[in-house]
Amino acid sequence: MDWKIPLFKIYWDEEDIKAVTETIKSGKDWAIGPNINRFEELIAEYIRTKYCVVFNSGTSALHVDLLAYNIKQGDEIIVPSFTFISTANAPLFVGAKPVFADIEKENFGLDPEDVKKKITEKTKAIIPIHYGGRPCKIKELKEIAEKHNLILIEDAAESFGAKIDNKKVGTFGDSAMFSFCQNKIFTTGDGGCIVTNSKEMYEKLKLIRSHGRLEAQDYFSSTEYMDYVSLGYNFRMSNIVASLGLPQIKKVDKLIEMRRKNAEYMTEKLSEIKEIITPKLKQNYFQVYQMYTIRVKSGKEKRDKLKEYLAKKGIMSKVYFDPIHLTSFYKRLGYNIKLPMTEKISEQVLTLPMHPDLNKEEMDNICNSCKEFFKY
């Protein structure tokens, strides 16, 4: 459908075009090249970690991270059901079992109290998500992980630049994944990364990313023998894609500021509607609004009718997320469980359009359409 107001638009400028064009015109280094290392350096510098390894997607990044931690058959990984499916699928990729814990209503992140209940002798890691640009209760989850000697992996796919008390998400856990898919804070079309302060993990991630090959030089430009020391995959990000990442990450603070300004305007307008809950966070939580998600208090029936009403006006909205444990695939795996808060929140949430270039006329249209609907 050709939406009058789409859910998101990609922010780009001439610097993006110039960067990619230069790489293409070079006639070399389209696969492996210097832009990859530079992109990784800029990410690590921004997030304030020692290391970063980029991949062809956030899903690949999470998969490799679990492999690098030697997560395997028989291990259990605590994850939310209220997330994109790759968070739960990643443990399955390595033969482990995802164990679903419920979420808390303030941030839509893992509920620390329910996480405690789900820990067994088989539990090896916790993977919380930072939903839609808002930090979860990561400090509390970190305490739990440390107490039980568990690996803490932040799924920060949607929250590049978010922080608590001026500390960036991605720096609380043992490692963290960010996504650069097209609807994220900044984008390379697709792509992702793992950040960590562990040199051992950094070396493992690089090996697994590229066939388990020891690479002291560019494989395509060198005639030297390079040994294969482990099983690996071809999960590399190309140098062309990384060249787009360089100008994109350099304007990330500008993009976040534009999103936050738009979100503030939307919240002011939508707060007049008693039937919905607008996104609000604690003072010390810095939200970057990768998504702008409201809650319809009365639940699914009314929420779905609002979604249909907006669609008739050409305004796209979408449910992020339907619970993973209720999907056909996970039901076939035997997940017959109840997650009360996850199920309640998932029936209330509706994500409205949000992107840096969203203008006042479009935001007024979205907000006024919501007000019109709730008058009926």
pLDDT tens column, 342-351: 999 999 999 9
Place of tokens 């039980």: 148
304: left (phi over 0), alpha (psi -120 to 50) or beta: alpha
Which of 175, 177, 168, 170 has its CA nearest to residue 196? 175
Task: Give the pLDDT band (50/70/90) at residue 59.
Answer: very high
Task: Give the pLDDT band (50/70/90) at residue 339.
Answer: very high
pLDDT tens column, 124-139: 999 999 999 999 999 9
pLDDT over 80 (residue 223): no
Domains 14-250 and 253-375 in one fold: no
- Give the per-residue pLDDT at 216: 75
**Token output for 13:** 């400028």
Distance separating alpha carbons of residues 266 and 293, to the nearest angstrom: 11
pLDDT tens column, 137-149: 999 999 999 999 9
Distance separating alpha carbons of residues 345 and 324, to the nearest angstrom: 13
The percentage of the chain sitting over the pLDDT mark of 90, rounded to a whole number, equals 93
Q: Are 110 and 141 within 8 A, CB to CB?
A: yes
Architecture of domain 14-250: 3-Layer(aba) Sandwich (3.40)
Task: Give the pLDDT band (50/70/90) at residue 222.
Answer: confident
Q: Are 330 and 342 within 8 A, CB to CB?
A: no
Distance separating alpha carbons of residues 98 and 79, to the nearest angstrom: 6
Distances (CA, A) of 145 to 106, 152, 185, 229, 360: 21, 6, 28, 31, 44
Query: Across residues 306-331, what is the average pLDDT?
Result: 98
Query: Across residues 287-312, what is the average pLDDT?
Result: 98
Distance separating alpha carbons of residues 24 and 197, to the nearest angstrom: 33
pLDDT over 80 (residue 217): no
- Delimit the domains of the chain by residue range: 14-250, 253-375
Q: Is 243 helix (H, G, I), strand (E, B) or coil?
A: helix
Q: Is 48 helix (H, G, I), strand (E, B) or coil?
A: coil
Task: Give the pLDDT band (50/70/90) at residue 376.
Answer: low
Q: Are 153 and 175 within 8 A, CB to CB?
A: yes
pLDDT over 90 (residue 18): yes
Which of 89, 69, 72, 71 has its CA nearest to residue 80? 89
Please give the helix or strand (H or E) that residue 310 lies within, else none: helix 300-312
CATH of domain 253-375: 3.90.1150.10
The percentage of the chain sitting over the pLDDT mark of 70, rounded to a whole number, equals 100
